[in-house]
Structure 1
Amino acid sequence: MRAFDALLGSPSSAFRSVLVAGTNGKGSVSSLLAASLAATRAADAGCLTRAADAGCLCHSERAQRVEESPALRVGLYTSPHLLDFRERIKILGAPGEPAALIPREAVYAFLQRWEADIDRLGLTFFEITTALAFRWFAEQEVDIAVVEVGLGGRLDSTNILTPALSVVTSIGLDHCALLGDTRAAIAAEKAGIFKPG
């Protein structure tokens, strides 16, 4: 996955991200986080992430700046889809606006352009879909993307991200042949999404 990401121009490093793993609830948590972030104004998010020694605007100045700033553009990558493959890859805008699904043309163009490399690298469906999502999010200049892990965490193709936040929902006995047969072993695999810092 890292080799393909490099061929694509490293889109995985073009945006901030939140990575969500877990046995159950990761799709719901991802959707709620994305909706919450999409309802956040860019200036407010900037103030929240500013270093403490940089100071913060007084309440009235900050409120005016926040009101005038645009909503964050938030990418959301989840699986599986319900009706349309493109539901997996979307961008949320301001509250009340419908999410923008990746256009069919973008999917087809990506697959045609990168078919030889996909075959040469032996990428899985999920790896291809992940790369497609990261590339589209980078092209669309999202401010942040909420990304749902596919399976486990440590070895998942989404784990090439260096997320600003890593979230693990509930841990249960699932995919034991791949992740381990105890909650501790499965938790260790899912904890593989945690990064220093």
Structure 2
Amino acid sequence: MQNIDEQYQLALDYIYSFIDYSLTRNLRYSAEKFNLSRMVTFMQLLGNPQLDYKVIHVAGTKGKGSTSAMLTSILTSAGIKTGFYSSPHMLEFNERIRIGRQLITNQELVDLVDEIKPFVAQVKELTSFEIITGMAFLYFSRQKVDFAVIEVGMGGRLDATNVVQPLLSIITSISHDHMKVLGSTLSKIAGEKAGIVKPGIPVVISPQKKTAKDAILTAASEKGAQVLQSDRLYNIVQGAHSLDGQYFHFVSRKENTFIAQHSSPEFFMLLIGRHQLENARTAYVALEVLKDKGFPITEDQIRDGYRNIDWPGRMEIISRNPLIIVDGAHNRDSFRKFKNTIDAYLPDKKKLLIFGASEDKEVELMLGRIQSSLDVLIITKAQHPRALEGEVIAVKAEKMNIKYHITDSVEDALATALRLADDQTVILAAGSIFIAGAVKNVWENQLLRKK
């Protein structure tokens, strides 16, 4: 008889035996590949479990995961049983499906896969992501959650998660990403993400560039959905901040007619960077909407939720000595925020960056954002089918006059960084969540071997 670890691996093998466009080169947004008909049929066969609880649906290019994690933590602190579905995972598949701060167990995952197999067999050409999404919806129903925070996988309009009927929609910061799939302009990308807006359902949005905001406002107007712009409702006041976390509070703006004029209490969270304060503000406005709908969430519960956010891979310090920080930055805008954060928090440190990227990323623009803050680039490649070859990145770095080393593996990249580092150095890892996760995994394995 197989043990649970073997059963778990077989369950994952089954899931990934289906089409997985996240692992496919040269994605193309087409009706035959991306449409909701398969997902609608699959959900009907499962009994439409996504309708069994209240949903907050979150789209965006950057910040959607962090905002979702904040909301999950705060609702959990308020005593509300809350499911959280996110993607991709950083280290373990189970990270994608959780309730509160508890990940789905290996046994629960195995049982869930066994349960859905007969229904999967009835729907032609289901994708891995559609299957995983259906599993999450069913798991939350089985666990009788009160709320589920559902993060969009990619885009919004045709994303597998867009079969939910949310109580509230959220669109975080939109920037250029997945352009082969979502479109080459910010307006087209925003239009796809605004596809999660539902008739009459309020939508909270983070600060956006004008073309992106116009696309969202147009979509919302056509569907009669109220739009709450977080930066028009609250100003952010940042307090003391360091690598150990940051204090902050919000002050309502004069033009804020949705919420009574007030200043929030001071909050604290471990997530650092100005961009995380923007995500925290978006979450705070979403909570005001929920309170307006009659959900009793107190400021003390909000404070506790911010303080207890569990969201790795976002300026995450995995070692203090040597100082190693991993981050999931993976496009030009997130690298701008990444640079701003390391400049603000680590102004006097020598900076080594372990870097790898997927083939569809704008490597020159990403490196261009951080080049002035960088001392040495260490190029590597994650174990992912769409990972860009290190030699291709090296050619781009050469043209940009960036000092670099090229390595064959993440293990070699970390070893090179450690060899080059001194006590005034910070080793950074970014370019994709897979690079961040791989560096964290290699480092933790080294610590285990030493023990």
Q: What's the TM-score once normalised by structure 1's chain length? A: 0.78
Deviation of 1:129 after TM superposition, in Å, equals 0.9
SS of match in other structure, 2:144: coil
SS of match in other structure, 1:142: coil
Higher helix share: 1
Deviation of 1:165 after TM superposition, in Å, equals 0.8
Is 1:106 paired with 2:108?
yes
Structure possessing the higher radius of gyration over alpha carbons: 2
> 1:44: which partner in 2?
none
Is 1:193 paired with 2:196?
yes
Is 1:159 paired with 2:162?
yes
> 1:85: which partner in 2?
93
SS of match in other structure, 2:129: helix
Deviation of 1:116 after TM superposition, in Å, equals 4.2
Is 1:115 paired with 2:117?
yes
Letter in 2 for 1:170: S
Is 1:9 paired with 2:47?
yes
Deviation of 1:173 after TM superposition, in Å, equals 1.2
> 1:134: which partner in 2?
137
Structure with the bigger RCO (C-alpha within 8 Å, sep 6+) is: 1
Letter in 2 for 1:115: K
Deviation of 1:20 after TM superposition, in Å, equals 0.6
Letter in 2 for 1:126: F
SS of match in other structure, 2:161: helix
Letter in 1 for 2:104: I
Deviation of 1:113 after TM superposition, in Å, equals 3.0
**Which stretch shifts more, 162-171 or 110-119?**
110-119
Deviation of 1:120 after TM superposition, in Å, equals 4.2
CA distance in 2, matches of 1:130, 1:103: 16
Letter in 1 for 2:86: T
Q: CA offsets, 1:5-49, max 9 Å, x none?
A: 111111010010101111111110110111121122xxxxxxxxx
Is 1:72 paired with 2:85?
no
> 2:181: which partner in 1?
178
Deviation of 1:101 after TM superposition, in Å, equals 1.4
Compute the RMSD of aligned alpha carbons. 1.2
Is 1:29 paired with 2:67?
yes
Q: CA offsets, 1:45-65, max 9 Å, x none?
A: xxxxxxxxxxxxxxxxxxxxx
SS of match in other structure, 1:157: coil
Q: List alignment gaps of at least 5 residues for structure 2.
A: 1-38, 201-451
Contact 2:80–2:146 under 8 Å retained in 1: yes
SS of match in other structure, 1:38: helix
> 1:45: which partner in 2?
none
Letter in 2 for 1:114: I
CA distance in 2, matches of 1:195, 1:16: 14
SS of match in other structure, 2:162: helix
Q: CA offsets, 1:121-178, max 9 Å, x none?
A: 2211111111111001001111101110000000001010011111111111111121
CA distance in 2, matches of 1:102, 1:133: 9
SS of match in other structure, 1:147: strand
Contact 2:46–2:119 under 8 Å retained in 1: no
**Which stretch shifts more, 120-129 or 10-19?**
120-129
Deviation of 1:118 after TM superposition, in Å, equals 2.1
Identity over the aligned pairs, expressed in percent? 47
CA distance in 1, matches of 2:119, 2:135: 13
**Which stretch shifts more, 168-177 or 101-110?**
101-110
Q: What's the TM-score once normalised by structure 2's chain length? A: 0.35
Letter in 2 for 1:165: L
SS of match in other structure, 2:150: strand
Contact 2:94–2:103 under 8 Å retained in 1: yes
Contact 2:176–2:186 under 8 Å retained in 1: yes
Deviation of 1:119 after TM superposition, in Å, equals 4.2
Contact 2:112–2:139 under 8 Å retained in 1: no
CA distance in 2, matches of 1:9, 1:116: 13
Letter in 2 for 1:140: Q
Deviation of 1:81 after TM superposition, in Å, equals 1.4
Letter in 1 for 2:98: K
Higher strand share: 2
Deviation of 1:110 after TM superposition, in Å, equals 2.4
